[in-house]
Structures are given as C-alpha cells and as structure tokens.
Structure 1
Amino acid sequence: MTDSQAATATPLGTNPIAAAPAGARTAADVVTPEVVAHLTRGVVGSGRTANHTPFTGEKLADLPESTPEDVATAFERARTAQVAWAATPVRARAAVLLRFHDLVLARQAEVLDLIQLETGKARLHAHEEILAVTVAARHYGRKAPSYLKPKGHTGAIPTLTKVTELRQPRGVVGQIAPWNYPFELSVGDALPAFVAGNAVVMKPDTETALTALWARDLLIEAGLPAEVFQIVLGEGPVVGPELVKHADYVSFTGSTRTGREVAQGAAARLIGVSLELGGKNAMLVLKDADIEKAAAGAVRACYSSAGQLCISIERLYVHESIADAFVERFAARTKAMRLGTSLAYGADMGSLVGERQLETVKRHVEEAVSKGAKLVAGGVHRTDIGPLFYEPTILDGVEAPMAVCAEETFGPVVSIYRFTDEDKAIAEANATPYGLNSSVWTKDAKRGHAVAARLQTGTVNINEGYAPAYGSVQSPMGGMKQSGLGRRHGSEGILKYTEAQTVAHQRIMPMAPSFGMTDEKYAAFMSRSLKAMKALRLR
C-alpha cells in the first residue's frame, strides 16, 4: 500500500491524537509516538530533526528532515498528482474544503493543543486560527466555482469574435509558512490553491510542523488526494531556496528580509510570488473615542499571541486631551492580564516562541528605558512561569532613535505617542517603510472612514484592532510598501493561484480583408467600425 493509499484509507476518527486524555493534559499526553508516526506518514525526509515547546523548552517530537533531493522528490510526487486533481470538477474540489470545515470544528480540541504546545500562545488566541481557517474554507468552498468559472467578454469585433476567459491552475505551489500562526498561515493559505486545482509543497517552520501535519491529515480525511499535499521539513536556508527552485508559484509569509530573498529567487525563474511580510502597525485613538472600549481593544490589538502577529499593534497614537485617562485604563487592563501554560481556556496571554524573540523584546525595552522612556506596565521576563514568558509591556515617552520606534518588535510591547494635531498623527503613522494594518478609534463613523482612507496600510480597522478586516474573507488582505506583494482572501486570494487564459473564437469573417475587399476598403471598414463602437459606448 502506498503512502497515498494508506492516508486515504484512514477511517474517520481513528487519528491517535484523539486518544489524548481530557483534563490537565501535558505535552506527553498529546504528542505521543503514535501521534507523531501517524502525522508524519508520507513526509519526504531522509534525515532527522526535532521541535520543542516554548512553554518549557522540552522536545516535543523527532521529525523527518528533508534534503534538497527530498524536496525534488516531493515536487515530482505533487506534479504527477496535480494533473488528475486539476481534472477533477471544481465543485468536487470545493466539497473537500466544506468537509474539512466541518472536521476542523468537530475536532478543534486536537489542533488547539498542538498550536499551544508548538507556539506557547494562550488557547483563546489559538482559537483565532480555528476561526480564520474555517471561515476561509467555507468561503472558498462556496465561492470558488464562481471565482473560477469561464467568463465571456466582448471580442475585437462584437458578435463576430467570441471571447472566453479561462482560469488554469499554475501547477505546483511552493508555500513557505511561518511559526506564529501555524494553522492559519499554513493550510489557511493553501486552501484556495487546492480548490483552484493546484498541488502544494509546503515548508512549515520545523518548530510548528505538527500543526501543519495535522492539517494535512485532516484534509486527506476530507477527500484531498494525499500526494497533492506534500510537506517538507528542514532549515529555511536549505529547504526554502529548493522550494523556490522547483515551484510554479511561491506563497511566503515571514520577515521582509527573507521575503526579498524569496522574491529574488522567484524573479530569476520568472514565476509569480505573493508575500506577506513585516509591519509596525499603528492605532490612532482620536479625541472623541470611547476610552474604555479603546483601552479594551488595545489589549486585544497589542497582546494577541504575545504580540507575535504581523497585524498586531505596536504604536499607539492617542490624542493629548484623553491620553492620561486612556493610558491609565489601558495600563490597568494590561497589568491584570493572566499569563499561563495550561492547555485550557483562561490565560490572557502565553509565551514568546523562541530565544530570538525574547532577546529582541528585552533589547527594545531596555534600550528605550535607558534613553528616557517610561515603563508604564510590564518589562519583566517571567522565568517563574516559563523560560520565554515576558509581561505585556507599555512604554511612554518613546522617541527616535530608540529601536522600538521603527523596528518591528514582534512581541508584547507597545509604545504610546501623544498628539494634538490629527494630520501630524496620520503622517507619523504613515512614516514607516511598512504598511500592513492600522486601527482608528472614534465615535464618528464618517470621520473614522476619512482617516482610514489616508492611512497607507492594506487593511484598516475602525473601533477594533485587526480581526474585522482579516475575518472579512470576501475582501483582500495584504500589505503596502515593504509589507508585501499580493493579497490573500477574496477573488485575489484565489486568482493569484491561477493563470488567466483568453480563448478567442473568430466567426464568419477573418480579421483580414475578405469578401473581395481591397486592403484600402478593409482599412476603411475597420475605421468606420471603430467609430461606431465608440458611439455605441462599447468597451
């Protein structure tokens, strides 16, 4: 029996991860040898690597590690399987996503445990990934047939030229997924690629590979042919370039620095690429904002997943007239947050994911305080909870050239900037090379929309931090400036995984002199036709 047949033959509900005991579960309860063996079936890897939990630093699992030759093998398997998958009717492909949607909701406890163990985030923040993936699965499961259906257009000569626009899958998509949202930013981005008729070879971060492997297993259970979804594991500098080398299109989420390298590799091969990169996102609290709601919203916007979210807020611009009251309420809510490691709901924030993130957070906070910034809340490395826990932190009086002003922290640290001139605040919010997300708080909807239109970010949320824009999957989401290229969600989120093909059928007469016309008469006829088409307002 092949890996593909074995995966497809697995009955619903027999995944050994479901046997983890209820109650106070530990990593050993959830990530058993049987679970790891089940999830890694079919992964192409001749070496061995491992991942660890940020909660304690302990090893979670031994995993296959892929060599460049293994990556090539994964692409060969995917390319062979993609042909039959592309020939499958789009409604049948979409039905896989809808079944996957139901399976995720029914078995979410399994993946919530994995997300928490691999990222260290609080369970409620892990649940955001459940919401994002199921919403995307439902949307593309329902809308993909209309996004991908052939579209008729007016031809060069109306009635004589019949034109149809087709959408062809690109082939095999190479996807490089990050560690911070290992469910949503892996399978969530792959779903539109699959329903468009592509195969996917994915490289998740090794430290969060079990979550991506669980998603693959569930998609196979939902009906996706196993060979259509390949996962390779290994160090980014080794596996990443190999993925770009073999792919027909590349999807990348991660740092701006690495994004440039991915784009350069794709450009050398003249293949398409979509990139969601870094951000230094701003929240503007206008003088008429509801202070209590804005303070509560700032907690959500700044500290979800311990601030390790590309669209979270790191800069808070608050009108001087309400700044003291806002900071007082925001600080009180921040200091009251509960940090914890439990695989259960209740903690308000979890851990940072790795030593590199912790060092960046500590460097930004310590440097800012040493140069005169005021520590309003937090600023403490909580080794009593876990090796990578850091208290949610508020800095006031931050000024350039403090690193926290301009560098992406990607941790639970936010800086307060007071303003009196709204135009200047908007200009300062835009004064960054990034342009991913922003937030505006005001009781005046018209004013909020006017300010939003002036912010140079791919998404803007009014009276919330990031969730409304990201969760509105019919609309595009992505970055301006150095925050990326391309968009996820909506029509752009699926059409990027396709090639547009125009099929023009010429009828009755050719696009050339005919019926005895001389060249001169043909030219005159076509000139009169062009004038007529303009008069008839044809496009």
Structure 2
Amino acid sequence: MAHTPTSSGGPLLHGPSDPEHDPTASYALEPGYVDALTKRIVSTSGETAEVHSPLNGQPLAHIPQSSDADVAEAFARARVAQEAWARTPLDERAAALLRLHDLILDRQSEIIDLIVWESGKARKHAFDEPMHVALTARYYARNARKHLHTRRHVGVVPVLTRVEVNRLPKGVVGIISPWNYPFTMALCDGLPALLAGNAVVAKPDQQSMLSALLGVELLAEAGFPQDLWQVVAGPGRRIGPQLVGSSDYVCFTGSTATGKVIARGCADRLIGCSLELGGKNPILILRDADLEKAAEGAVRACFSNAGQLCVSTERMFVADQIYDRFMERFVARTQSMSLGASMDWGVDMGTLISQAQLDGVTAHVDEAVAKGARVLAGGRARPDLAPYFFEPTILEGVNPEMACFADETFGPVVSVYRFHDETEAVARANEGQYGLNAAVYSKDGARARALAAQIKCGTVNINEAFGATFASIDSPMGGMRDSGLGRRQGTDGIYRYTEPQSVATQRAIRFAPMFGMSDEHYSKVMTANLRIMKKLGRA
C-alpha cells in the first residue's frame, strides 16, 4: 500500500497546526491510505459508521458496515480458502508466519502510528503491540512441528497396538476482538488458527478497525491466501449472532456479560469457544518487597494504556510494615508521570478511547469520593489534554458500598488497602468472581511463588506487573471464574483450534476370543494381562 511517510515512517500527513495549543492538530490520515484499508471489509450494504480519534476528536474514517449477506459471503469465501489451505504443507504455513514476523518489525513505526492515532494510547504502550504479535508469529512458526505433527501414543498391547494422534483443523474460526489493543488482539489469536490449517472470519471492534485491517494487509504481504482471513464490520448485537452461528469455533475477548451470551450461542451449536473476559486484578506488595522496584512496577501495573488493559491492576494490597514508605514512593511516581495525547515518545500515559469510557471512570471515582474514599493522586478528567483524558488516580478507603470496590473500572484507577498478614492478603485478593491476572512483589521468590499458587487467577507475575506472563508465548494465558475460559498462547492456544483424531493399528491379535477360546476363558486371559501390565509398571 502506498503511503506518505512522516518522521516516524507511518501513514500520517502534516498540515497547519498550532502545537502549543493542540499538539495533535498537525496529524491527519491520508484518505487513500484509509480507503485501501477499508476495502478489505466484506461490505456491500453502502452503510458506513464514522469513527474519531480520541487524541483530538478528529474524524478518522467512515467504516463500511457488513450486512447479513456480507457475513454469509465472508464465511463462504473463507470455507473455500480453508479447504486448500489445510492441504498446504505445515512448513509452508510456518514460513508465512516468519515472513509476517519480519514485516511487522520492518513496518512497526507505521503500525505504532496507526495504533496511537486510533486508540489514543501512549506510544510506548502502542509499541508493545507489534512486538507481541511478532513474538506470537515466531513462536508458533518455530514450534509448528512440536504442536501439530502426528504423535505416537502408547497402545493397549505393547508392540501389537500402534496409536497415532492427528491434529485436524476445526474449519473456520470466528474471532471477535476488542478496541483496547487493536493490533495485538486482532491478530494474535488468529495466527495459531492459521498455522493449524483454519480460516478466520474476524470482527474487530468498530472503534479500532484500521489497526486490525493493517494487520490483514500484512498477512497478505506475508503470503497468506487473500480469502483465508475475512473481515466483517458492524455492531456486535447485529452481526455477532450470525458470526457465532456460522463459525466452527469462536474466540472472543471482551466483557463478561457479552462472553456469557457467546458461550450460550456456542453451547446451542455444540461448538467450542475461548473467552478472555473481565478482571478486577490484585497486586500484593509484601513486607520484604524492594520498594523502588515495587513502586515502579505498580505504576505500570495500574496505568499502562490508561488502565484499559484486561490484565491491569485495580486492587492493591500493601503490607502494614511498609505501607507508608511504599505509598510515598507510589504516589510520587504517579504524580510525576508525563501525561498527554501525542504521537511522540516520552508520554507515560495517554487518553481513554471514548466518552463512554470517560463517563464510566468518572462515575466510579465520583461515587467513591462521595461515599468517603480519599484521592491520593489524580481524580479528575483533563479535557485540556484530550477530550476523554482522565488522570492516573489512586484511591484509599474504598469499601464494598462503592461500585469501584468489586466492579471492573477499566481505566486509570486503583484502590489501595493495607493488610496485616499474607493469608489475609491472599483471601482478599481472591474475593469476588474474577480471576484473570495478579502480581506479587517480594525479594523471596520461593515464598512469592507459593503464595501465587493460592491466588485464583489464570496468570500471576512475580516482581512484574503483567509483561512476564503475557510476553511468554510458550505459557498459557487466560482467566478463571468470571474472567473466562480457555487459554491463548502455548500448546493450549493452538490446540483449541484443532480436533484430536486417534488412529490405532492392531497387529496379530484381535480384541475377541481367539484360538478356540470361550468368552469366559478370554475374560480370564485379559484379566491376567491387566495384572501383568501393572507389575511391569505400565500406565
């Protein structure tokens, strides 16, 4: 795709501006660039939906909307492409992922520009997205044979029974991705699906379509067949049911309420689904924590992407013995953060993405303060920085009467609590119905890991906010309880898109009476065989 580069190498043009009053006024997306991206949406309805940049409210694009017929057409194309793709040798599929890895690194400035312009996040947080997708592509390419080649298993009769297990693709995978990480979430779940021989029909969130569509362009440039990854657009309540009703497997990232609706739709059709849902993630600062390291990590845990991160921290439990000293450092680091809406490096936290997000965050903070919570840092909207900007906020004295005590805020707000002993801290961390991510800070790694095993979360990071688990692609990532089911990444992340098929070959004997045996004699021989196998240590 031809585009006009800027200083960062991306698809932005510079025009008249007054940076002193509006540092984003100089940015605009090239119309031809947007048109080329949106042509990848399957849409014949003629309807469009306008989206705006949260940096300054400027219109970004008119997104074509998909009709029911368009969704049906997307699945029809995907099914034809999938049949041919499933016959493509595994090594060729893996090679395409490695080419994608290099393309992402080569064009990361362009990718980051578009993410920031579309989501409003700080550039350093946007950088995480191409890095994560590149890691995912490389991991699955390098481990393709490990995960997908036919494997020998133990047969019932040694030597005479040979068993192999094949991994067959599900078919067409439906992926519904959120707006908060528009490049990562649009692509990372689909890459193992492609490697396993599936096709994808994707519905990215309306607010972040362009980043997802750039990912589809890169897939095509890497050599994946054009029809293998289809994109549809429209409100989830309108096209979501048809997507669920047409898929062979559904992968969803979003709210718990919507996830339950999708799970019911999949259950009605007896198809599988993986759901990464909400969280009210805890962080435990133990009495022996390195205070400076913990304070730095806590800032990232709470305020990365303005708290619009499924694994970000919203509840902080700090040991009595260090509470005052830690909070002094944490509050100071929070108050010294560089805030802004900018395409440039150097910003510590960007803006919320929409008025709806701002309204939700404001309501949580205002209600908590009205009921007695104390604001230690932040606590207010900053329209002088961007239309939907809200300061990084630390609350003390939050109690169960306040919505932000148990409900997910999904913004730059954390509630801080003292604890007396670590058993109490774990019990409080496990309160509620969520169980996505947690963190523990301690100089005693063994003790921290022992505590981690007691926390009901799908991932727990020791002396790190969330990056250690999220970036370790070989390990599973997902939630417990109301935070979802299924896992992305690692073996779980690709096996969910396959059907295991057992093929057993029997030699010499049959599983029925032979050599003139009666049924009774046969049963005695088989019983004796079971006893012998146990004595020999067989599983």
TM range (shorter): over 0.9
Per-residue CA deviations over 1:60-101 (Å, capped at 9, x if unaligned) read 011211011111110000001001101111111011111100
CA deviation after TM superposition for structure 1 residue 28, in Å: 8.1
**1:335-414 pair list within 5 angstroms:** 335-414=335-414
Answer whether contact 1:172 1:200 (CA < 8 A) is retained: yes
TM-score by length of 2: 0.95
Conserved? CA contact 2:149–2:167, under 8 Å = yes
Partner of 1:41: 39
Which residue matches 1:16?
2
- Measure, in 2, the Cα distance between the counterparts of 1:154 and 1:193: 28
Alignment of 1:43-122 (within 5 A): 43-46=41-44, 47-122=47-122
Aligned residue runs from structure 1 range 251-266, under 5 A: 251-266=251-266
| 8 A Cα contact 2:364 2:404, kept in partner | yes
CA distance in 1: counterparts of 2:359 and 2:479, whole angstroms: 26
Residue type of the partner of 2:324? Answer: D
Any conservation in 2 of the 1:30–1:113 contact (CA below 8 Å)?
A: no
Measure, in 1, the Cα distance between the counterparts of 2:97 and 2:283: 35
Judge conservation of contact 1:375–1:395 (CA < 8 Å) in 2.
Answer: yes
When residues 27 and 75 of structure 1 are mapped into structure 2, their CA distance, relative to the original with a 3 A threshold, is: farther
Paired letter, 1:44: V
Task: Tell me the residue number matched to 1:420.
Answer: 420
Aligned amino acid, residue 260 of structure 1: K
Q: How far, CA to CA, are the matches of 1:28 and 1:292 in structure 2?
A: 38
Relative distance call for 1:316 and 1:42 in structure 2 (3 A) is: closer
Give, in angstroms, the shift of residue 509 of structure 1. Answer: 2.1
The worse-fitting range, judged by mean Cα deviation, of 303-312 and 442-451 is: 442-451
- SS of the equivalent of 1:16 reads coil
Question: 2-side partners of 1:489 and 1:259: how far apart?
Answer: 19
C-alpha displacement of 1:293: 1.1
Matches of 2:446 and 2:142 in 1, distance apart?
33
User: Which runs of at least 4 in structure 1 moved beyond 6 Å after TM superposition?
Assistant: none
Alpha-carbon separation, structure 1, partners of 2:433 and 2:531? 47
Say if 1:28 and 1:385 are closer, same or farther in 2 by CA, change over 3 A: closer
Query: Secondary structure of 1:152's match?
Result: strand
Q: Distance in 2 between matches of 1:530 and 1:110?
A: 64
How far is the alpha carbon of 1:27 from its aligned partner? Answer: 8.3
Summarize the alignment of residues 526-537 of structure 1 with structure 2, pairs less than 5 Å apart. 526-537=526-537
Matched letter for residue 150 of structure 1: T
Task: Decide whether the 8 Å contact of 1:440 with 1:461 is kept in 2.
Answer: yes
Deviations 1:432-463 (A, max 9, x none): 10000001111111211111111110011111
Kindly provide the amino acid, as one letter, of the partner of residue 16 in structure 1: A
Deviation of the 1:158 alpha carbon: 2.1
Shift of 1:104: 0.3
State whether residues 50 and 207 of structure 1, in contact with CA within 8 Å, keep that contact through their aligned partners in structure 2.
no
1:385: Cα distance to partner? 1.1
Distance change in 2, residues 1:51/1:27 (3 Å): farther
Partners of 1:50 and 1:206 within 8 A in 2: no
1:134 is aligned to: 134
Q: Give how far 1:324 is off.
A: 1.3
Q: Is the 8 A contact 1:194 1:200 kept in 2?
A: yes
TM superposition shift of 1:16: 2.0
How many residues are aligned here? 524
Question: In 2, Cα distance between the equivalents of 1:45 and 1:236?
Answer: 15
Q: Distance in 2 between matches of 1:40 and 1:446?
A: 51
After TM superposition, the score normalised by the length of structure 1 is 0.95
Equivalent pair of 1:16/1:38 in contact (CA under 8 Å): no
Paired position in structure 1 for 2:327 = 327
Which amino acid in the other structure matches residue 258 of structure 1? T
Give the equivalent residue in structure 2 for 1:175.
Answer: 175
Q: 1:29 to 1:393 in 2, by over 3 A?
A: closer
The residue aligned with 2:223 is 223
The code of the aligned residue for 1:32 comes to E
Q: Deviations over 1:461-485 (max 9, x none)?
A: 1111100011111111110111010
Separation in 1, partners of 2:69, 2:514 = 58
Structure 2: which 5+ residue stretches go unaligned?
15-23
**CA-based RMSD:** 1.3
